[in-house]
Amino acid sequence: HWSASDYERQWKEGIHRIAEGARSSLLLTAYRGDGRGPHMLWAMWRDHDHVYGQACSVRSPTLAEPFDPWDAYAYVPPRMPVGKYAPPPTQWRIELDPFFASTFGLRVPFYSH
């Protein structure tokens, strides 16, 4: 239901939200349109020097209002830390410097200790 350029545009917007200081954001990976299928996304949370990401789904039938893929940030759930509940969710932890560098096409120097 979305073109590749729609996804790319949303991903850039979602990453820029984190870069501009938002505590959470998302990358929409499967927008199912107005149908009943679940919308898939990577929820992201900024925490100090890291960004955490977890795969999530949003089901349209359970929403009070239609799912708006261009303004879906309210659907990012609170982050569930790994190990708090079983089974643990798949989670990625990314340091902010490399995250932002790759986002903006910058090279981060690597220092050897």
pLDDT(82) > 80: no
pLDDT tens digits, 5-63: 999 999 999 998 998 899 999 999 999 887 767 899 999 999 988 999 999 988 876 66
Measured distance CA(111)–CA(12) in Å, rounded: 28
Residue 51's nearest CA partner among 85, 89, 7, 19 is: 19
- Please report the pLDDT score of residue 108 as a whole number: 58
Helix axes 96-103, 4-19, angle to 10 degrees: 140
- Please report the pLDDT score of residue 5 as a whole number: 95
pLDDT tens digits, 67-78: 888 889 988 988
pLDDT tens digits, 84-113: 555 556 788 888 887 777 777 766 565 554
Sequence-distant (≥ 6) Cβ neighbours of residue 12 within 8 angstroms: none
